[in-house]
Chain A
Amino acid sequence: MLTLPFTKNGKPAENNGYPLISLREVDKLYKTAVGDFPALVNVDLDIKAGEFVSVIGKSGSGKTTLLNMITGIDRPSEGEVWVNQTAVHELGENKMARWRGNNLGIVFQFFQLLPMLSVVENIMLPMDFCSAFPKNERKERALELLEEMELADHAYKLPSALSGGQQQRVAIARALANNPPVIIADEPTGNLDSKTAERVFGLFNELVAQGKTIIIVTHDREMAKRASRVALISDGEIVSDKPNGVHKGEKA
């Protein structure tokens, strides 16, 4: 923890303690046939270790784009992105993959499990790629994670044999495989019924309790309230960012 992320105008990062994730004056322009489309406009965002942030906003407001900035899946047009003291916006594509594997666990809306691998193998895959744990411990760890997700019975099934909620929990287990400090989830409950969604959020709460930092995008305002902090994004700008607050002037 020696280097500090500085903003362009030289101001040190605000907030007490160092933010684990820090976006500085991030702009994202998409080039389209009808001209540049600003998906993110001058976004500043700091997230400290151990926070559970939910990002909400209308469809097309830029939520996924914001997450893509943090995960390095996409690059900002302007501005800086720091995660765990790494300048994400400067990482090459290949280094990024390895860094991401070690530092971030990503949960996709449509689970995105590899269909030809069994559940346990899907969870082992990040460990194999990043050599995160000794070879002979990987399977054991994968099974432990499944146990935590209450899916131990399904370890050797193919993903297609699982229900949506089960698949999403496998995806979460996979996100946890390399024991990353940060979990990022884009509408992890979008495809689940409310009861199952409840359960997934319960899991996230447990993870935060274990010290993970979590950022989720969701449409579900009720669910969003279970996070420790809620950021509202509209037309590419963060219009409200409050600890567990209630947002006004925004219709669902």
Chain B
Amino acid sequence: MSSRWKKVWADFWANKTRTFLMILTVIVGVFAVGFNNNIGLQMNRDMDADFLSANPSESTVYVSPVDDDLLVTLEDVPGVGAIEGRSDVAGQLLLDDGKKVVISLDGIKDPDQIHVNLLKPEVSGEASLPALGNKEILLDRSIKSFGFEVGDMLNIELANGKIRELRVAGYIHDVTTIPYNMMGSITAYVNTDTLEWLGGSSAYYSKILVSVSENPTDSQHVSDVTQAVADRLEKGGASVYFIQIFNPGHHFGWEVTQGVIVVLGVLSWMTVFLSAFLIVNTINSLMAQHSKQIGIMKAIGGQTHQIMTMYIVLILSFGVVAFALATPLAAYLAKMVLVGMAGWLNFEVGAFTIFPQTVVQQAIVAFIIPLLAALLPLWNTARITVREALSDYGLGNGGVKQPKKQTKDSRFLSRPVRISIRNTFRRKVRLVLTLSTLVLAGAIFVAVMNLFGTFDKTMQDVEKYFLADINISFNRAYRYEKVAPMVEAVPGVQRAEGWMMLGGEIISADETTANELAFVAPPADSTLIEPILTDGRWLLPEDENAIVIGNHLLSVRPDLKVGDTTKMNILERESEWIIVGIYRMPGNVVPPLVYANYEYLSRLINAPGEVYSLRIITETHNDASVKEIASQLQTLMDANNIQVGNIQLASEWRLQQTQQTDVLVYFMLVMAILTAVVGGLGLMSTMSINTLERTREIGVMRAIGASNFDIQKIVLVEGLFIGLLSWMAGIAFSIPITSALTYGVGVAIFKSPLPFTFGMDGILLWLFLTIIIATFASALPARRASRLTVRDTLAYE
């Protein structure tokens, strides 16, 4: 090895702390980009690959009974690729602990003879599906956690209260259905004979699965083809109740994960940006320390480009080590997380792949970014003239101006603390770089915490429309006078309101099209709704045909405003309604909800006094007591032969919702922690560079009697001071990041921007973390500084 490369190697190896910090800095960026990219790419690929291999339907048409003859004609509708009719029965699965879970049983002829929404073997690659005999049930693998074994008998309570036993025939992988953990209800399969035995129909279908022949992801196209199918059905004498199209051509998890991937992408590149800052910082100080050596090399014949090359190789070597470590680490952890996500979203992870585009990006982060970051300091120093490098007049101790007002410094601060604070500002560029890193880390952290808060706020806003503790939905209408007293007699129940929910259509101004909606009718004196009004007013008890519409309806009918009279179709009959107010509810609600007075609506449909659901408020609101009341209600309903569709607890709903956003939240927390790590690394490298530079000074302080503790304190206080400065600035910078995050995540996941919320939680937690990070980051340099002997420090250089 020539002496030039020997020097590069020595620079790499001799200062282990610096090398370690540099490599760690690069690793963080390489890891973040790789981790995020690997997850994103492979998840998108596998999710859709698994989904598409099941020949998924893009839309479902809910109809009155349709027989095979009519079904066959649908195959000729232009654009249709495959059609399948299904009918189902709903029931409740009785669990050992007395709980009931809503279960929907789809009748299929034979698991192997499905054309659309194919069922796949539980374990991918397995040859065949389990056989499905009479009185048997096929379960999706996502509910294996319930612990049912093949051969177990399941008790299913039907809508009429009868209980049927079904034998578990086996598990399958049903990728086109939203799994229990996200839906809160189970979809399972029985054969057509069993369906009939359970009270369903095997000759008629109640839902038609439509798979288009091309452009499955084109919503407009899918909608057109489905409309044509619906038209054909109506011409054939069937009535179409409802058309469901949700993210056609994609796995149901696709939409949420796009949001996750975008946010992670932004955060990971921010991390890269931060580490680039750090690299600039470290290279700057490296070059400052090496300027004399560079001068000597030039004096003995080294040319600028030769010296540049040496340092470029040094910087690249940090990148090589970081790349070699972080690439496999990112791939490995991405795979682990992916397997978890796949279990959660119920899709099959394909062959583990190293994506070339990820590796390229990682290589850019490992090699190009550090080089770019180092270019300016490198160029400046490598061009330094020998005189500048060697003379006391030139570079090296320039820019070290003492602050002018040092004598005016307050009397409240002890002298060592004043030294710390003055030291903080000695290297302005370095301070700015360190601060930027920490500030950005803090801003991201606080913004992510605010996003949690926003999720929370969103949930609370949604809950304002569903304030009851327990909701009982019936399978048919019951008289309020009959069910309410029954429920209110249960100890712990405070009150029960009878609500009505009814499907309808709003007819466009030109009477050519109609949009699906759902009427929600609370009683006039309801206390279980606290709407957020954006215009007009809420319903008054004396209102008749008044409605309050929401943001979701406005997004499909932007022309509507307060004061308008609109035409609605309810149960095949037209009626006129006046819009009196507009409410806002976060999230994406399909179909849009329209609020009307229960009293009027029930009269309109000739069912005064009848309710479809009871919203119950309990005396105490803790989970355990509400659960206890719910199970008592269940028993009570069963005893009185009242057909309950389902009983939902507010707390359970909440849990299900948060589980969906939690995925995103945890990912972002990981990224926020990564940025905090970068921030800490930045502070650590700055503090070690500072103490290294001040070695001689420290020696002098020692020589005049400073104790270990004095020296450590000076370094520690400086680190804490920088940390606190960054904390304050971080709060300010978190404002725009919070608003970007709430907007972006809202649009990506909820189809509408989330409200901007700013909480103290993030700020205080970050203050706490900042103090910890700053203490850790300066502890090592402080210790090293206090270990220096006077002899060491004077021998330095």
Give bound CA distance, A130 to B301, whole Å: 6
Residues of B within 8 Å of A98, CB to CB, are 301, 303
Q: CB distance B387 to A94 under 8 Å?
A: no
Stretch at the interface among A101-109, A208-216, A229-237: A101-109
Q: CB distance A100 to B3 under 8 Å?
A: no
The answer to whether B304 has its CB under 8 Å from any CB of chain A is: yes
**Residues in A lying within 8 Å of B, measured CB to CB:** 68, 71, 73-74, 93-94, 97-98, 100-102, 106, 108, 112, 114, 116-117, 121-122, 124-126, 128-130, 135, 138, 160, 174-175, 177-178
Contacts A94-B305, A101-B301 known; 20 new A-B pairs at CB < 8 A: A71-B299, A71-B386, A73-B385, A94-B304, A97-B301, A97-B302, A100-B300, A101-B302, A102-B301, A112-B390, A114-B296, A114-B297, A124-B2, A124-B3, A126-B301, A128-B2, A129-B4, A129-B301, A138-B2, A160-B795
Give bound CA distance, A236 to B728, whole Å: 56
Residues of B within 8 Å of A94, CB to CB, are 303-305
Q: CB distance B304 to A116 under 8 Å?
A: no
- Contact A108/B11 with A121-B3, A174-B300 known, Cβ cut-off 8 Å: no
Residues of A within 8 Å of B10, CB to CB, are 116-117
Q: State the main secondary structure of chain B at its contact with A.
A: helix
Q: CB distance B301 to A117 under 8 Å?
A: no
Q: CB distance B385 to A117 under 8 Å?
A: no
**Residues in B lying within 8 Å of A, measured CB to CB:** 2-4, 6-7, 10-11, 14, 292-293, 296-306, 383, 385-387, 390, 795
Q: How close is B79's CB to chain A, nearest CB, in angstroms?
A: 71
- Contact A116/B11 with A93-B383, A125-B3, A128-B4 known, Cβ cut-off 8 Å: yes
Q: CB distance A101 to B300 under 8 Å?
A: yes
Give bound CA distance, A231 to B263, whole Å: 74
Q: CB distance B301 to A73 under 8 Å?
A: no
- Contact A73/B14 with A106-B299, A117-B7, A130-B301 known, Cβ cut-off 8 Å: no
Give bound CA distance, A166 to B2, whole Å: 23
Closest chain A residue to B384 by CB distance?
Answer: A93
Residues of B within 8 Å of A114, CB to CB, are 7, 293, 296-297
Closest chain B residue to A98 by CB distance?
Answer: B303
Q: CB distance B296 to A128 under 8 Å?
A: no
Instruction: Tally the A-B contacts, defined by beta carbons under 8 Å.
Output: 84
Give bound CA distance, A178 to B306, whole Å: 17
Residues of A within 8 Å of B298, CB to CB, are 97, 100
Give bound CA distance, A68 to B300, whole Å: 14
Give bound CA distance, A100 to B297, whole Å: 11
Residues of A within 8 Å of B4, CB to CB, are 125, 128-129
Q: CB distance B11 to A129 under 8 Å?
A: no
Picked from A68, A100, A101, A108, the residue with its CB within 8 Å of the CB of B387 is A68
Residues of B within 8 Å of A160, CB to CB, are 795
State the 8 A-B residue pairs at the shortest beta-carbon distance, nearest first: A101-B301, A116-B10, A124-B3, A121-B3, A126-B300, A129-B302, A129-B301, A73-B386
Give bound CA distance, A93 to B307, whole Å: 13
Residues of B within 8 Å of A126, CB to CB, are 300-301
Give bound CA distance, A242 to B293, whole Å: 37
- Contact A74/B304 with A97-B298, A117-B7, A117-B10 known, Cβ cut-off 8 Å: no
Q: How close is A157's CB to chain B, nearest CB, in angstroms?
A: 14
Closest chain A residue to B795 by CB distance?
Answer: A160
Residues of B within 8 Å of A112, CB to CB, are 292, 296, 299, 390
Q: CB distance A93 to B385 under 8 Å?
A: yes
Selected A-B contacts with CB under 8 Å, 22 pairs:
A74-B387, A93-B304, A94-B303, A94-B304, A94-B305, A97-B303, A100-B298, A106-B300, A112-B299, A112-B390, A116-B10, A117-B7, A125-B3, A125-B7, A125-B297, A125-B302, A126-B301, A128-B4, A138-B2, A175-B300, A177-B300, A178-B301
Give bound CA distance, A139 to B478, whole Å: 102
Q: Which of B7, B301, B302, B386 has the most CB of A within 10 A?
A: B301
Closest chain B residue to A106 by CB distance?
Answer: B299
Residues of B within 8 Å of A102, CB to CB, are 301
Q: CB distance B2 to A135 under 8 Å?
A: yes
Q: How close is A81's CB to chain B, nearest CB, in angstroms?
A: 14
Residues of B within 8 Å of A128, CB to CB, are 2-4
Give bound CA distance, A4 to B6, whole Å: 42
Residues of A within 8 Å of B296, CB to CB, are 108, 112, 114
Q: How close is B399's CB to chain A, nearest CB, in angstroms?
A: 16
Residues of A within 8 Å of B297, CB to CB, are 114, 125, 129
Residues of A within 8 Å of B390, CB to CB, are 73, 108, 112
Closest chain B residue to A184 by CB distance?
Answer: B299
- Contact A116/B3 with A97-B301, A129-B302 known, Cβ cut-off 8 Å: no
Q: CB distance A129 to B387 under 8 Å?
A: no
Give bound CA distance, A102 to B300, whole Å: 8
Give bound CA distance, A71 to B14, whole Å: 32
